[in-house]
Each structure stands twice: as structure tokens, then as C-alpha cells.
Amino acid sequence: MQELLIQILINGLVSGSAIALVALGFSLVYHTTRIFHITFAALYASGGYLFWYLSVGQQFDLASSLFIATLFPALLSLFLWLIIYKPLTNSGAEHNELMVASVGIMMIIIYLISLIMGDDPKLPSSALGKTLPARYLQLIVNIIVITVFLLITSTTRFGLRLRAFRDNPRLLGRLGINNFYLTGILFLLSGGIAGLSAGLSTNDLGISPFTGVHVFINAFIAVVAGGSGRISGAVAGGLFLGILQSAVVFLAGSEWILSLSFAVLIILMLVKPDGLTGLARREA
Amino acid sequence: MEYFVHTAIILNIYAILIVSAQLVIGHAKLISLGQGAIFGAGAYFMALSMIRLQIPFVPAIMIAIAGNALIGLLIAWPSARLKGDYFVLTTLGFQFIIFQLTYNLSSVTGGSDGLGGIPSPRWPGLSDESQPYFILSLSVFITALVFMLYYRLLRSDFGRNIRAMSDNELLYKASGRSVIKIKSQLISFSAATTALGSGLYAVYMNYLDPHAFNLDKSILILTGVMLGSLTRLRGALAGALIITLLPEVLRFAGLPAAQGASLRQIIFGAVLVGLMFFISWRRKKQNQTNNNE
């Protein structure tokens, strides 16, 4: 019984830290721009597939595959912001229109991937995880990246600007701080986190075209559960959701994960609308 | 001729789905990514009551409508109380939940094998050859009924209330009306009329596959609404026409079926993005001319 509990807890920590990391990446863009950035799902998929192609297809070593799989979605994210979101926002697009455009980009990228790589799930090669089991590698990297991020946002000037930008982008612009570069950096970081997380998870479990959408939903649930407006909230929400999901897997089976996380989300939103860490929501 | 009849029936089904989705997405300005699942839920209600309970067509479609109205209330229950993005998130969630239910409850729904042997309604004394024409007439009749219903609805108090609510939620609330109530009503109503399309689909295809009601279908319906019109009934028909004919055009262009499916989704994605650019560009231009006057 005790062993089972420990097993649930460890699995929960691994998947929880993974969800926390993507939630962090998603919240960087979501909390500052308020775009329903579902393209994030496609960025994640692109990172995962690139990692799989490099490590399994081209026999690259783990570190360089991970590096390229992180770099590419980061640049893609920045590029998409420059050619899609920014011009749309500049010409006064409404919230819903940005959302629909984001759905469109997601479709294009995901189906480009499935056109090139095929629909079948790609499994990780067993040779890769030899030095360190893939799960523990994932857990360690996740924890390091999350900790570094939380430190940066809570202690540095950049983090201060980030929080100010989240609270009131217009005021920050009036104070003479360049929103353009700040938003660019956020999109770059967010895409990079999506890619890194996708690479790590592909190394452990493999990837299929719609994995990104599931991950996106988890990330969004974590952000909402953790409390909107706070980056640490996303992390708390992710860990909470991961442990909950791993308990659900033991009790009911993996096919019901998403349904039950949603049930929890809905209950949580109705009972505690400001999330676990509770911070008043800024209106979109 | 058979091909023409098939396309025409599919067109009618899409027209029903799109005009129903228009109420939520266009009139109430609530972007939904769960229309495909609502469509699927209706089809499964229909099929299960016809196969498992041996109910004839008309009462079965009533059950599907009632069932879908309940599903609509279920979706509205959390999401009408929450703002903005949470509605999309909830509908996206329901999309996956309904898929998981139809896919995993294989003892009831047939799971990944699908659900076959759905009987078609038959007109007494009609030969087998004219059966497709009968289904076509039935679908034209139901589609006309749905469009008339929406025509009346949008000109009624209910329609005006929906527009008032979507224009300014706060003002609507301030005038003593319940936003939650009207959102629940309209989401439930839209789901109920979607069930008519689901019922037609079930009895025409005679077979249901959970994959036919996935996120792609939801995005397809969203594209149809966006392409046609957010508010005009004629636009819903135009949207249905485009999303029915585009795959056929692609097929005639000689694309292999395997790539065709992906390529079609890519085109729909590009259409969505392009459309958003067009809409915001047009609004900007309008604002400029207004300012100049």
C-alpha cells in the first residue's frame, strides 16, 4: 500500500512537473497578451517531432537533439507573433478573432506535421535513455528550468518588468519601456519551453500529432487551477493536476485522465474561481 | 446521380450544423470548439435509441433532440457562469470528454469499431433505388424546417435578447436580465437543433465512427460559420456549401486520399487565418473612412 502511494506520488511528480513547465510557458504568453494561444499546442508538437526525427531518425545525441528541438519552436513562436498576432492586434482585431486565427495556425502546423511525418504515434528509441532513465531526466530538467524561471521572475529586473507588463501593458509602455522587445522575448521563451518540454516527453513516451492539444488543455487547466495572474500559480496548478492524474490512472485507468481533470477544473472554477493561489483576475 | 444525391444530403446536414453553431458563435459571440462533439452526441443518442431500444425514426429523433438539449445545458452550466476563454476551454474539454465516452464505453457505443446497423426510415411502398431520394427529400424538409425556426427565432424577443446580451453583457445584466439564463437557453437550443443534423447523419450513414466527431469536425464547423456569415442565415448556407464542396474540388484536382485529408485541414486553417486578417483589415478601413467624414 505504501509502495503504491509512493509510486503514485513519483509518477505524479514527473507528469506534474511536465505540466507545470508547459503551463509556465503557456502562461508567459497568456497572462501578458491574453490571447487564447492554442497555437502553443502546435509548437509543442513541432518540438516533439523534431526531437524524434533528430534523435531516432538521424541518430543525433540527446543534448543536441534537445537543443535543436528547443530552438526551433522558440523561433517559430517568435515568427508567428511577428507575422500573425502582431499585425492582427495592430489592425484592431478583437479577442475572438485572435483566438480563431490561433486555431487556424494550429491546424496548419499540426497537419503539416502529419503530412510530412504521418499520423502514427512515434515511439522513443530505447537506446537514448541508457545513461539516465528518461523519466528522471525529465523530472530533473523540469525542476531546474522551473526553479530558474521562478527565480528570474521574482528577483531580476526583467522579472519585475514582466510582472508589470502582465498587470498593465499600456502603463508600462507609457513609462518608456519597450513593449515590443518584451513581448518578443516572451514569445521566444514560451515557444522554447514548449519545445524543450516536448523533447523531454518524447524521449520518455513518444509523440503523436494531437499530443500537443492534450498538453495544451492540461496546461490551461493548470493555469486556471493555479490562479490566473501568477506564474507560480501555474506551477502549483501543474503539480496538483499531475499528482491528481496519476492517482486517477491507478484508480480508473488512463483513458479517463482528461475527462476527470476537466471535472476537477469545472468544480474548482465554480468553488474557487480565483484558483488555488487566489489572485484577483484582470479583465481581458 | 448517386454522387450528386450524396453531396446534397451532406450539404443539408452541414447547413443544419452551421446554422445551429451560428447562434452560439455568431450571435452570442461565444467561440465554441465543441460543435463536433455535440453533433456526435446527437448521432449516438439517435443510433442507440434506434438500435438498442428499437424505436422508430420520429420518436428517436425526439430523444436525440432532448438528449442534446441536456448536453447543451451541461456545457452551459459551468461555462455560462465564467467569462471569455473559459467557454472555449470548456467546449474543447467537452469535445474530448464526449470522444472518450464514445470511444471507451465500447460495450454501449461499439467503441473504436464504430456503431453499425442503424436502420433508415422507409416510406411505405418505395423501392430500394429511390431510397436515397427519400432521404434527400427528408433532409431538405428538415433543413428548411430548421432554417425557418431560426428565421423566426432571430426576429423574436429571444433573438433580440441574445444580440443585446452579446453586445453588452454588463448592460444586459443591469437591465435586470439573467446572462446565465439566456446563455444556457441559447446553447441548449443550438445543441437541440444540431441533433436534427445528427439524426439525419445517423440514418443516412447507417454507421457511426467516434473519429467522425473529433476536434477536426468542430474546427470545420467553426470555419463554416466564419466563412459564411456570423449573423445572416443565407451565410450559413453559403458556409455549408463551401465546406461541402471544397473537399470534392480537392478530390477532383487529383490529390491522393491520404494526403488529401491533411491538405484539406491545412487549407481550412489557412482560410481561417486569412479571414481574420481580412475582417480586421476591413474594420480598420471602415474606421478610417468614418474618421475622415
Determine whether the interchain pair A259/B100 forms a contact, defined as Cβ–Cβ distance below 8 Å. Answer: yes
Distance from CA of B150 to the nearest CA of A (A): 23
- Rounded CA gap, B191 and B73, in Å? 9
Interface mutation target, options B169, B265, B280, chain A, most CBs of A under 10 Å: B280
List the single range of A75-89, A168-182, A260-274, B105-119 with lowest mean pLDDT: A260-274
Which pLDDT score is estimated for A36? 87
What are the sequence ranges of the domains in chain B?
2-254, 258-293
| A to B CB pairs, distance under 8 Å | 122
Q: Mean pLDDT: which of A170-174, A267-271, B33-37, B79-83 is highest?
A: B33-37
Q: What is the pLDDT tens value at each position of chain B, 293 positions in all?
A: 788 888 999 999 999 999 999 999 988 888 889 999 999 999 999 999 998 888 888 899 999 999 999 999 988 887 777 666 788 888 888 888 888 888 888 888 887 888 888 888 887 777 777 888 888 999 999 999 999 999 999 999 999 999 898 888 888 888 888 888 899 999 999 999 999 999 999 989 888 888 888 888 999 999 999 988 888 888 899 999 998 888 888 777 776 766 777 888 888 899 999 999 988 888 888 888 887 76
Query: Taking Cα atoms as reference points, which of A218, A211, A196, A210 lies closest to residue A47?
Result: A196
pLDDT > 70: percent of chain A: 92
Task: Copy the grid coordinates of residue B45.
Answer: 443518442
Burial B189-210 (b: 16+ CB within 10 A, else e): bbbbbbbbbbbbbbbbbeebbb
Which amino acid type is present at position B250?
L
Q: For residue A108, what is the nearest residue in chain B, using CA coordinates?
A: B266
Q: Examine the pLDDT at A283 and tell me if it is beyond 60.
A: no
Q: Examine the pLDDT at A281 and tell me if it is beyond 50.
A: no
More confident residue, B55 or A263: B55
Determine whether the interchain pair B271/A104 forms a contact, defined as Cβ–Cβ distance below 8 Å. Answer: yes
- Rounded CA gap, A59 and A147, in Å? 31
B83 reaches A (C-beta below 8 A): yes
Which pLDDT score is estimated for A269? 72
User: In the predicted model, what is the mean pLDDT of chain A?
Assistant: 83
Distance from CA of B272 to the nearest CA of A (A): 5
B114 reaches A (C-beta below 8 A): no
A59: left (phi over 0), alpha (psi -120 to 50) or beta: left
Which pLDDT score is estimated for B83? 64
Interface mutation target, options B222, B273, B291, chain A, most CBs of A under 10 Å: B273
Which helix (H) or strand (E) element contains residue A197? Answer: helix A179-205
DSSP string, B194-257: HHHHHHHHHHHHSEE-GGGGSHHHHHHHHHHHHHH-SS-HHHHHHHHHHHHHHHHHHHHTT--H
Residues of A whose CB is below 8 A from B96 = 214, 217, 258-259, 262
More confident residue, A42 or B283: A42
DSSP string, B74-102: HHHHHHTTS-THHHHHHHHHHHHHHHHHH
Q: For residue B278, what is the nearest residue in chain A, using CA coordinates?
A: A88
Q: Does domain B2-254 have CATH number 3.30.70?
A: no
Which pLDDT score is estimated for A132? 63
Determine whether the interchain pair B93/A87 forms a contact, defined as Cβ–Cβ distance below 8 Å. Answer: no
Determine whether the interchain pair B273/A105 forms a contact, defined as Cβ–Cβ distance below 8 Å. Answer: yes
Determine whether the interchain pair B78/A270 forms a contact, defined as Cβ–Cβ distance below 8 Å. Answer: yes
The Cβ of residue A284 has, within 10 Å, a number of other Cβ atoms equal to 10
Q: Examine the pLDDT at A282 and tell me if it is beyond 50.
A: no
Distance from CA of A97 to the nearest CA of B (A): 6
163-192 in B: which are within 8 Å (CB) of A? none
Which pLDDT score is estimated for A123? 81
Q: What is the ipTM of this complex?
A: 0.86
Determine whether the interchain pair B96/A258 forms a contact, defined as Cβ–Cβ distance below 8 Å. Answer: yes
What are the sequence ranges of the domains in chain A?
14-116+133-271
**pLDDT tier at A127, thresholds 50, 70, 90:** low
**Span A120-124, mean pLDDT?**
80
- Rounded CA gap, B268 and B80, in Å? 29
B255 reaches A (C-beta below 8 A): no
Helix or strand or coil: residue A224?
A: helix
The residue with cell 491522393 is B256
Determine whether the interchain pair A262/B276 forms a contact, defined as Cβ–Cβ distance below 8 Å. Answer: no
Determine whether the interchain pair A217/B93 forms a contact, defined as Cβ–Cβ distance below 8 Å. Answer: yes
Distance from CA of A267 to the nearest CA of B (A): 8
User: In the predicted model, what is the mean pLDDT of chain B?
Assistant: 87
For residue A175, with 0-12 CB atoms within 10 Å meaning exposed, 13-18 middle and 19 or more buried, which class applies?
exposed
Query: Taking Cα atoms as reference points, which of A89, A106, A112, A88 lies closest to residue A40?
Result: A106
**Tens digits of per-residue pLDDT, B90-119?**
888 888 888 888 888 888 888 788 888 888
Determine whether the interchain pair A284/B83 forms a contact, defined as Cβ–Cβ distance below 8 Å. Answer: yes
Query: Taking Cα atoms as reference points, which of A59, A239, A5, A207 lies closest to residue A122?
Result: A207
pLDDT > 90: percent of chain A: 22
Which pLDDT score is estimated for A40? 93
**Tens digits of per-residue pLDDT, A132-157?**
677 788 888 899 999 998 888 888 88
Which pLDDT score is estimated for B45? 93
Residues of A whose CB is below 8 A from B219 = 103, 107
For B272, the closest of A101, A111, A112 (CB atoms) is A101
> Contact, B237 vs B59, CB < 8 A?
no
**Tens digits of per-residue pLDDT, A68-112?**
999 999 999 999 999 999 888 888 778 888 889 999 999 999 999
Determine whether the interchain pair A100/B268 forms a contact, defined as Cβ–Cβ distance below 8 Å. Answer: no
More confident residue, A101 or A277: A101
Residues of A whose CB is below 8 A from B287 = 92
Which helix (H) or strand (E) element contains residue B272? Answer: helix B257-292
B268 reaches A (C-beta below 8 A): yes
- Rounded CA gap, B82 and A284, in Å? 13
**pLDDT tier at A12, thresholds 50, 70, 90:** confident
Distance from CA of A130 to the nearest CA of B (A): 35
